[in-house]
Structure 1
Amino acid sequence: MAEAHQAVAFQFTITPEGIDLRLSYQALSQICLSGLRSWKKRISRMRNRVIKGVYPASPSSWLFVVIAILATMYTRSDPSMGLIAKIQEHLPVSSLSLSAQGQTMLSVLVFSTLLWLSLILTLRFCLKLLLSYHRWMFEQHGRISTTTKVWVTLVRLLSGRKPLLYSYQTSLPCLPVPPIKDTLERYLESVRPLLSSPEFERMTVLAAQFENSLGNRLQRYLKLKALWATNYVSDWWEEYIYLRGRGPIMVNSNYYGMDFLYVTPTPIQAARAGNTITALLLYRRKVNTEQLKPSRVPDVLQHWQDSEFVAVYHRGRYFRLWVYKAGRLLSPREIEYQIQRILDDPSLPGPGEDRLGALTAGDRVPWWTVRKQYFSSGVNKHSLDCIERAAFFVTLDDEEQGMMGEDPVGNLDRYAKSLLHGKCYDRWFDKSFSVVVYKNGKSGLNAEHSWADAPTVAHLWEFTLATDAFQLGYTEDGHCKGEVELSLPPPQRLTWDIPVEVQEQVSISLSVAQALADDVDCHVFPFRDFGKGRIKKLKISPDAFIQLALQLAYYRDRKTFCLTYEASMTRLFREGRTETVRSCSNEGCAFVKAVESGEGPEHCRRLFRLAAEKHQNLYRLAMTGSGIDRHLFCLYVVSKYLGVESPFLTEVLSEPWRLSTSQTPVQQLELFDMKNHPDFISLGGGFGPVADDGYGVSYIIVGEDMINYHVSCKHSFSETDSHRFGAQISRALLDLLSVLTPAKTENPQAPDKKQQ
């Protein structure tokens, strides 16, 4: 153990001749280096705090202000309009014992500092006002207004040259509370294509009654919260959507990310784990030192401060693996060496240890009860603390996964299911994320949802994959690079005392989780016929194109339309997380019906343009704080606090999202060129279905010529099938491209069927 290694830095014995002191100079030097690194880290953090504290100014600007004020003083002019003299009058002269010139100099320093701080607050206020301007998002592509051009110039001037990761935090505007009338109007518009005329009339009456009675009262409370809260949605969203859920988070909440599609950098499991762990820790270092480029508002990566170990699971056993020694991050080769030690360890799991992780996969209440009673003291508490205080969790899976063998399509589906739930006990689903490294070197991760949304984890995982393959690399025989210090203490085996009562609960939780896992139907497929390059040539948003293809595919699959969820980010606001884009619109449904009824191509193209523009506008509204669902959710929370019932809100929040979609961003980091490395493309990630009778669809737009899809549903509902829906998606994409691409023989003057 690292603690034991440092504890024997020196030894002494008492003899008749005196004290015999024996020093281990190697250990002492490591301790000194560790202390030096610790102080460097503290100084770096203090420096970053100062830089962020004075942003958008810089610390050096204080000196510039002082020199400028002194220069004007020497020209016998008083830029302070008498304030410097007033400051000098109130200085404690008797205690300072300063000369008249010294008093003047001190007064100038005080005035300059106050002026500098006032300028910082003014600049920060101006930047906040500028960042509240969102009209640029609603302008047509290629047609930038003069106002927006001026806005871009001012933002660049006030943003500074090299902002740190969290520099923008205090300058970001708060998320505004939309007018309740606007939200209700947009809600009714979103459900119009899903309801019959009588149903829509009933919902319209409910909305009007809500607005004229309870709604305005709830809105006042919500506006009151928005006055003092940095974000009126985020804390309630995290608490009630994620943390207070009592059902399993496995499949229902957690999501997964995949490895490269065509490439496995090394087939050696320990080596892949070594580079992956190193890359993740390098990312954490960049977060701590704030070297990552800010994206308006970064989600905060939650982790135990400077945790120097990771938790590792292999064949039913848990280990604590130290990845630092005396403050030094181990080399990838050293981590590989330690991982191999775990793989070669012949010890067997203790009683009840091998499937202990099932407690985190089943229902939450039994896990909380067992945790409180059996894991609050002794060896169980120590081992559980090791897992929860680890930087992250690592599973060394004894299976092989990936697009391989004689059934690459089926293997790809099994790979997705493995990352989504595994064996239901070999991931620690409570952990922020669990990295999975398979026997054949393939990797992936399973992420818990409450701490970060998919774009944040995608950012981390993209950095990890690129750093692993292109920066750290491997030797010719597939091992990690670097030297190995053979005196490294072995990984520490965690021990447990699992009584029969806990083992029984583990079995119950496992049966719940296993039933949920067996019910999930996953299908992953890369669509290679075309990508965003072909779509953009048609001057269409790729996301709008894909969403309308999903509407067409769903209509063909289920012969109806449904409430559709598309995740959008609210990063333009402080502590912003997500908002819902209700992608099933009146315009989109009109287009789908026109295609299915065989309307003329020109008429279909016109309807498509209207539907695509509508979708883009809905997306912009969601991003700029004018979404529907988070506002209604918060109104519902306020109603529960007040103890009042709203038939309108109860019905709205019980509506099922039968089509839940999300785009996984790619190439957020320019770490390598996909044109020169076309095989190094990521499959993206996916999630389970939100509704028992619905689909979950995640897609990633890769480069110019590929779109990867992850489709999920449940076997228990006979009318859904992930493979069938995947085929419908592919067909819909091709049909949309055919509709939007005019045939060479098509007469542009000929009237379409609708006009005839």
Structure 2
Amino acid sequence: MWGLLGRTMAKVSMVKPSTLVKPVSLTKIAGRYLAHQGGLPKLPVPPLKQTCERYLAMLEPIISEEEMSQTRTLMAEFLRSGGVGERLQKGLERRARKTENWLSDWWLQTAYLDYRMPVVVYSSPGVVLPRVEFSDRQGQIRFAAKLIAGVLDFKTMIDNETLPVEFSGGSHCQEAPTHITVVHNFQFFVLDVYNSDGSPLTVDQLYIQLEKIWNSSLQTNKEPVGILTSQHRNTWGKAYNNLIKDKVNKDSVRAIQKSIFTLYRSRAAAHMLHGGGSRWNSGNRWFDKTLQFIIGEDGSCGLIYEHAPAEGPPIVSLVDHVVEYTKKTEMVRTPMVPLPMPQKLRFNITPEIKKDIEKAKQNMNIMVHDLDVRVIVFSHFGKNLPKSHKMSPDAFIQMALQLAYFRVYQTCCSTYESASLRMFRLGRTDTIRSTSSASLHFTRAMDDPTLQNTEKVALLQKAVQAHRSYTDMAIRGQAIDRHLLGLKMQAIEDLTSMPELFMDTAYAVAMHHNLSTSQVPAKTDCVMCFGPVVPDGYGVCYNPMEEHINFAVSAFNSCEETDATKLALGLQRALLDMRDLLEQTPKAKL
């Protein structure tokens, strides 16, 4: 497996791009991306009473009436005139006036930096790309060369500021790296990907350099240093400090950290999320890198990205561009200019580092065996069907998920769906609450033989519309989750006692997402996957294509209550039953 490690590709370099690529003078507008970001509105602070009312409505289907009564009492106290709620709201509004985005720093800290579980499985999503047919090793290396060239082409558009603007947030790189890291047989190589005149290496040049790396990395008796990055963050932090005590190791780590991205090559297909364990490819990774491409000998390809600096949409934009680039026919052959041998990075392995690596191997293997991922292609229909019934495809799929879950557990649960806040300055995400009173009424009714189809369709329409309304509210910055987080963080910053509302059982239930879901639509026929966010939950990601839907469903084998296969099959059945319901009820109209 070829492995390529990367920085965030969809971020703008603040270094003048002329040091790397020649500007496209007719289309470049200096500072274009920064100007667009500055022109976006600030993320609003929703009205306090509105959020509290919507919070209570969200709780109704997922907690008992007794718990609901307790929460209403706490809410009344929280909203009391001149009380703690008003004080925290005013503090939040002051923060919003003084900062570019009142949420972004808190969100980065609480969602990613404070979270100490490994980034592998628990945070970093993987992307499974369409399988590629290789006739031999040379075909694999040539595809890897084209993929690198495609990523560099995307980067050129970023550096030249000619990429179509997408309204999303993000920090900006302070330097412009000129190399990538290539990993094979647990060995890391620095591959310079720009010529001395600043032009990117061509596919032919990249092919020659990758051949050199392959020939130099045939021995496999190297320690898999990269597996250290898969550890619990505190454990990796200690191992990192041990590793960089040695100057050679420190220089090698810095070279990996500064690379544009990383590419891996493997002898077998491995899970994009974790590499398959210590005997396979988990050591051919550096999980702290923002972007890592993986190319297997059997044609399996994909990538994994570290979530802290990047959301799905810019990654999908990159994927779509690169996949299309690799399909292009190469018309021009490059005059061969002698290129230096890529530098192999050295690591001095002390007994202490060896011990850290062995511990990381054991923990990684436990994670790999515990995670169950089911990737399915639902081929009966795609987003074309719900659209033909004037329904949002995303809302339709979410209601199928609600139905599948309800059929398995005879109850509904707290469900998270990611909503983009990219229309706001430095915007990240908020939560679409897919479980609602309307969704519960629909799921209960679906298998009720006493109800007519027309009644079931009406309830489906109401559930879909409720989800659509919540989605619209969320992307306008009016959802409840980030506002509640802001109020909670404000209380912490004010050094006051935590309001009882946030110590309530109902709040814990609301934040325990048994279903963590995300729609990641791409032009490429791919699917993203990630692990559950709670021990007894599921991770569900989907890419709705026009006539089919790609799903990835994950669960932990260590939890007796969850079963990825059962939910995946239930999801397919739910989609078919909903289709049949609509097609057997011709008068169904929104």
**TM-score normalised per structure 2:** 0.90
* 1:48 pairs with one of 5, 8, 29: 29
Q: Work out which of the two has the higher radius of gyration on C-alpha atoms and give 1 or 2.
A: 1
Q: Distance in 2 between matches of 1:382 and 1:416?
A: 27
CA deviation after TM superposition for structure 1 residue 194, in Å: 1.0
Instruction: Report if aligned partners of 2:453, 2:585 keep a CA contact under 8 Å in 1.
Output: no
Is structure 2 residue 529 aligned with structure 1 residue 660? no
Q: Corresponding residue for 1:389? A: 258
1:326-725 counterparts in 2 under 5 A? Answer: 326=196, 327-346=198-217, 348=219, 354-376=223-245, 378-400=247-269, 418=275, 423-469=281-327, 471=328, 473=329, 482-483=333-334, 485=336, 487-598=338-449, 599-643=451-495, 644-651=497-504, 652=507, 655-667=511-523, 681-702=524-545, 704-725=546-567
Aligned sequence identity (%):
30
Q: Does the 8 Å CA contact 2:269/2:300 hold for their aligned counterparts? A: yes
Q: In the alignment, residue 149 of structure 2 is paired with which amino acid?
A: T
In the alignment, which residue of structure 2 is the partner of 1:169?
37
**In structure 2, the residue corresponding to 1:193 is in which secondary structure?**
coil
Give the match's secondary structure for 1:393: strand
Match of 1:231 in 2: 101
Structure 1 residues 134-169: Cα deviation after superposition (integer angstroms, max 9, x where no partner) = xxxxxxxxxxxxxxxxxxxxxxxxxxxxxx444422
Higher helix share: 1
Aligned residues: 562
Q: 1:512 deviation in Å?
A: 2.1
Q: CA deviation at 1:720?
A: 1.3
Please say if residues 333 and 483 of structure 1, whose CA atoms lie closer than 8 Å, have aligned partners that are also in contact.
yes
Q: TM-score, normalised by structure 1?
A: 0.71
List alignment gaps of at least 5 residues for structure 1.
1-34, 53-163, 402-413, 476-480, 668-680, 749-756
Query: What is the CA-CA distance between 1:463 and the residue it aligns to?
Result: 0.8
Q: Is 1:726 the equivalent of 2:577?
A: no
Deviations, residues 298-322 of structure 1 (Å, cap 9, x unaligned):
3447656321111111101111111
Q: Deviations over 1:407-430 (max 9, x none)?
A: xxxxxxx56664899743221110
Q: 1:639 to 1:301 in 2, by over 3 A?
A: closer
C-alpha distance in structure 2 between counterparts of 1:313 and 1:726, whole Å: 34
Q: For the structure 1 residues 653 and 235, does the alpha-carbon distance in structure 2 shift closer, same or farther, using more than 3 Å as the test?
A: farther
Q: Secondary structure at the match of 1:735?
A: helix
CA 1:694–1:458: 2 relative to 1, 3 Å: same
Shift of 1:742: 3.2
Distance in 1 (CA, whole Å) between partners of 2:335 and 2:28 is 34
- Identify the residue that residue 7 of structure 2 maps to in structure 1: none
Bigger RCO of structures 1 and 2 (CA < 8 A, at least 6 apart) = 2
- Equivalent runs, 1:735-754 vs 2, <5 Å: 735-743=577-585
* Cα distance in structure 1, aligned partners of 2:401 and 2:436: 12
Letter in 2 for 1:191: L
Q: Aligned partners of 1:579, 1:221: CA distance in 2, in Å?
A: 20
**Residue 370 (structure 1) shift:** 2.9
Report the CA distance between 1:448 and its aligned residue: 0.3
Aligned-partner Cα distance in 2 for 1:259–1:632: 37
Answer yes or no: is the 8 Å Cα contact 2:185–2:217 preserved in 1: no
Change (3 A) 1:230 1:653: farther
Q: Which residue of 2 aligns with 1:184?
A: 52
Q: CA deviation at 1:455?
A: 1.2
Q: 1:433 to 1:301 in 2, by over 3 A?
A: farther
Query: Whole-Å Cα distance in 2 between the matches of residues 454 and 224 of structure 1?
Result: 31
Tell me: CA distance 1:36–1:396, structure 2 relative to 1, closer, same or farther (3 Å).
closer
Q: Is the 8 A contact 2:276 2:368 kept in 1?
A: no
Letter in 2 for 1:430: D
The amino acid of 1:666's aligned partner reads: A
Q: Does residue 289 in structure 1 map to residue 160 in structure 2? A: yes
Question: What does 1:75-154 correspond to in 2, within 5 Å?
Answer: none
Confirm whether residue 314 of structure 1 aligns to residue 184 of structure 2: yes
Contact 1:166 1:298 in 2 (8 A): no
**Equivalent-residue separation in structure 2 for 1:276 and 1:441 (angstroms):** 13
Q: Choose the corresponding residue for 2:148, options 267, 270, 277.
A: 277
CA–CA distance in structure 2, aligned partners of residues 179 and 39 of structure 1: 47
- The answer to whether the 8 Å contact 1:256/1:420 transfers is no
Q: What is the aligned partner in structure 2 of residue 408 from structure 1?
A: none
1:25-58 Cα distance to aligned partner (Å, 9 max, x none): xxxxxxxxxx996397589699733xx4xxxxxx
